[in-house]
Amino acid sequence: MDEMAIEEALDAINRLTELRALLRKILNVSSIPRGNCNTPIIAVDGSYAVYGAHGLHAIVVKAAIVVISADKTSVTTLGPLVTSVYSLTGGEEIHRVAEELMIALETIAVARSTADASDAALLILDGPIADPPRPAPLSTNTRRILKRLLNIEIDDLHRWRASMLSSALRRLHALAGYVKRPSGSTLLTRKLDTLAGKLQQVDDAWIAGIALGPGEATSPERMPPEGIYQLYYTMLGGIEYTYAKVGMMPPARLEVAPIGVIDKILGCLSSLTKHSKHPLPIQLAHEKSLVSLEEAKTAHRLITNTLIKRLKGDPRKLLAIIHPGLEKIEAGGEEATLI
């Protein structure tokens, strides 16, 4: 490397150092409060898996509840919930149905886990409080499956979920959402004013990654009550957020309701992240909610048996599902649940 290249590299490093210092000042970066976590923690997460092709798919959905208290840790799983869906519109519709089912099952897990919870307990969700991050009038397939499997009728997923979270919060000390990968968010970029115009094509994940060091967080801010968050903000009595680096992974966004307790929650989560990538309750809930290989095999057997029963042993009908151009059949689906 020649001398000019070295000078250019050093100049770039100096500019990045200056940018980091400016970002830290604007975002009011500080150390995460230290302290022991003496409050009971309830963590909830969910997952889904999709199998199949050519219009015929099996969806497997599962949720996990992890409760950590002073004397014990317990794990409860809901599911797997298994359903078959026929769709000739492509995989996007199938994954939308799977995501909606997963969020519905997660929300049911929230209701179950907080029914008898202590008013000192903290509920933490693996993901944003407002989930999915888009308007969510349920698809016809999702409504039909939820009615048949769980006997619940939902038209607007966000309104139903916000109501369930609001009911849970009335029984708890606080409710939090832990967003591991906040890419695409622009909450921090809005705070940069004129500087944001000079930082083209960057998002909150990039800014937080530059500004924060281990054990640091941005100053808490109120979540703008707009878009899908307007409903949650109103029903939960306000939401605060911060970006924090509490583990070995890149900074995450922490959303907390009600307003005024986010520093305590940060300190609690930090004390539970000593030897893991993310806070221990979140890590455990994520691992326990994953669809296992054995559950996937069970789903395949269950779906196969259901199809054989529905098709009454006529292989031409099975071919018509796999290759819809061969024979036109009525669209539909069969479900079974292992809850």
Report phi then psi at 128, rounded to 5: -70, 155
CA separation for the pair 314, 188 (Å, rounded): 59
Average pLDDT value over all residues in the chain: 83
Indicate the pLDDT class of residue 98, thresholds 50, 70 and 90: very high
Domain covering 41-183+201-293 in this structure, CATH number: 3.30.2170
Indicate the pLDDT class of residue 334, thresholds 50, 70 and 90: very low
Q: To 10 degrees, the CA torsion angle through 144, 148, 149, 150?
A: 90
Residue pair 208/242 in contact (Cβ under 8 Å)? The answer is: no
> How many beta carbons lie within 10 A of that of residue 121, not counting itself?
20
Residues 6+ apart with CB under 8 A from 204: 182, 183, 185, 186, 187, 188, 189, 243, 253
CA separation for the pair 296, 179 (Å, rounded): 27
- The answer, yes or no, to whether residue 259 has pLDDT greater than 90, is yes
Q: Give the position of tokens 């309750």.
A: 281
pLDDT on residue 311: 66
Q: Give the position of tokens 């909610």.
A: 289
pLDDT on residue 190: 81
- pTM of the predicted structure, to 2 decimals: 0.85
Indicate the pLDDT class of residue 326, thresholds 50, 70 and 90: very low
Residue pair 166/235 in contact (Cβ under 8 Å)? The answer is: yes
Average pLDDT over residues 320-333: 38
Average pLDDT over residues 143-170: 93
Question: Which two structure tokens, joined as six digits, stand for 3?
Answer: 């001398």
Residue pair 203/183 in contact (Cβ under 8 Å)? The answer is: yes
Letter for the amino acid at 52?
G
Residues 6+ apart with CB under 8 A from 219: 27, 28, 29, 30, 242
Question: Which two structure tokens, joined as six digits, stand for 179?
Answer: 């967003």
List helix spans (H) across 212-292.
229-235, 262-271, 280-289
Q: Reduced to 3 states, what is the DSSP secondary structure of residue 126?
A: strand
Letter for the amino acid at 160?
W
pLDDT on residue 89: 63
In b/e form, how buried is each residue of 2-13, taking b as 16+ CB within 10 angstroms? eeeeeeeeeeee
* Higher per-residue pLDDT: 325 or 25: 25
Question: Which two structure tokens, joined as six digits, stand for 238?
Answer: 């306000």
- The answer, yes or no, to whether residue 31 has pLDDT greater than 80, is yes
Q: Give the position of tokens 């326990």.
A: 288
pLDDT on residue 329: 30
Report phi then psi at 240, rounded to 5: -110, 155
Average pLDDT over residues 295-305: 76
Biggest alpha carbon distance in the chain?
79
pLDDT on residue 110: 95
* Higher per-residue pLDDT: 163 or 322: 163
Among 112, 62, 104, 55, which Cα is nearest to 82's? 62
Average pLDDT over residues 13-17: 75
- The answer, yes or no, to whether residue 61 has pLDDT greater than 50, is yes
